[in-house]
């Protein structure tokens, strides 16, 4: 059963009535190569999608939700069902951005046919426009297989979190010439196979610049270079909800501090019996 449905703005807490915006398309994103930089953030819930959507060209339902939402140690345990549920929520909460959903570990590596079945499930369940998968030359045949069958694919090279057990950690990639050359070859392979964009994560800057100058599709940097065709961050990192973040994260707010302060004030008022006040109760009319 599909998890897609329309929000009842009369009853939902997520009440803002959507503006009549025309949603961007995958071809429109691809045409932005070398143009105005593309803006991308992660989103996992309806309300977050509503708040980010007017400012973003793409919303990524990242498998980073495993860590951000579920407190898992890595993205490896994330399931297709988790991605489908959060993907549907983000689609319901957005009306402008292209919604891209991560394919979780184990859902696409086995064969192009497995990848097609997993991707088709995600798009049917959510209404999203595209999927993202990690990997380079080894995944190029899968990218081509999906693209030729009507499933837009965003690639992901460099630091690939699903391969953390092979990589041995989350450090920057491409520090030696051999690895740098492999990352460039990986990006070129998935772009040539039909990826409409490629995420470049956690690499030495010259690699990101070389890839951006080489491939025909837009590059989306995260810990890469301002020379990429766009940028993506985990929204919760950017908003300052976590104490520990990667070097490449810029905190644009201190939401953790603001939430903690609000909760502290609320707790003090409850304990002092000053909340609820007259404005928050229903007094007797008799």
**All domains in the chain, ordered by first residue:** 26-254 (3.20.20.60)
DSSP letters along the chain, please?
A: --------TTTSS--PPPP-PPPP-HHHHHTTTTSSPEEEEE--SHHHHHHHGGG-SEEEE-TTHHHHTT--SSSTT--HHHHHHHHHHHHHH-SSSEEEEEPPTTSSSS-HHHHHHHHHHHHHHH--SEEE--BSGGGHHHHHHHHHTT--EEEEEES-GGGHHHHTSS--B--SHHHHHHHHHHHHHHHHTT-SEEEEESB-HHHHHHHHHH-SS-EEEESS-TTSSEEEE-HHHHTT--S---TT------HHHHHHHHHHHHHHHHHTT-SS-GGGS-----
Residue from 117, 201, 236, 264 carrying the catalytic annotation: 201
Q: Is 134 annotated as a binding residue?
A: yes
Q: Is 57 annotated as a binding residue?
A: no
> Rounded to two decimals, what is the model's pTM?
0.90
Model pLDDT for residues 1-36, shown as the tens digit of each residue: 445 555 565 555 555 555 556 899 999 999 999 999
pLDDT in tens, 72-90: 999 999 999 999 999 999 9
Residue 238 has pLDDT above 80, yes or no: yes
- Asked about 81 being catalytic, the answer comes back as no
- 205-216 pLDDT, tens digit per residue, is 999 999 999 999
pLDDT at position 244 is 86
Q: Is the pLDDT of residue 166 over 60?
A: no
pLDDT of 1 reads 44
Average pLDDT over residues 35-39: 98
User: To the nearest whole number, what is the mean pLDDT of the chain?
Assistant: 91
Has 53 been labeled as part of a binding site? no
């Amino acid at each position: 059963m599909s998890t897609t449905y329309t929000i009842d703005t009369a009853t939902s807490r997520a009440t803002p009535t959507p503006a009549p915006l025309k949603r961007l398309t995958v071809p429109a994103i691809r045409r932005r190569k070398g143009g105005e930089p593309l803006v991308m953030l992660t989103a996992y819930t309806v309300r977050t999608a509503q708040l980010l959507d007017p400012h973003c060209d793409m919303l990524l339902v990242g498998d980073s939700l495993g860590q951000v939402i579920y407190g898992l140690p890595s993205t490896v345990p994330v399931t297709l069902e988790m991605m489908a549920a959060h993907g549907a929520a983000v689609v319901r909460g957005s009306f402008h951005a292209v919604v891209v959903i991560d394919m979780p570990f184990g859902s696409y590596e086995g064969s192009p046919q497995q990848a097609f079945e997993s991707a088709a499930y995600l798009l049917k369940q959510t209404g999203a426009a595209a999927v993202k998968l990690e990997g380079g030359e080894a995944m190029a045949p899968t990218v081509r297989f999906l693209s030729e069958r009507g499933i837009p694919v965003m690639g992901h090279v460099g630091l690939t979190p699903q391969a953390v057990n092979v990589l041995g950690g989350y450090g920057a990639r491409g520090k030696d010439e051999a690895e740098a050359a492999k990352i460039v070859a990986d990006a070129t392979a998935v772009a040539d196979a039909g990826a409409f964009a490629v995420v470049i994560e956690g690499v030495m800057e010259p690699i990101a610049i070389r890839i951006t100058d080489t491939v025909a599709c837009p590059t989306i940097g995260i810990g890469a270079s301002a020379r990429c065709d766009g940028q993506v961050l985990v929204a919760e990192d950017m908003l300052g909800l976590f104490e520990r973040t990667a070097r490449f994260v810029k905190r644009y707010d201190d939401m953790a501090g603001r939430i903690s302060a609000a909760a502290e004030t609320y707790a003090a008022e409850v304990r002092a019996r000053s909340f609820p006040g007259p404005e928050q109760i229903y007094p007797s009319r008799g």
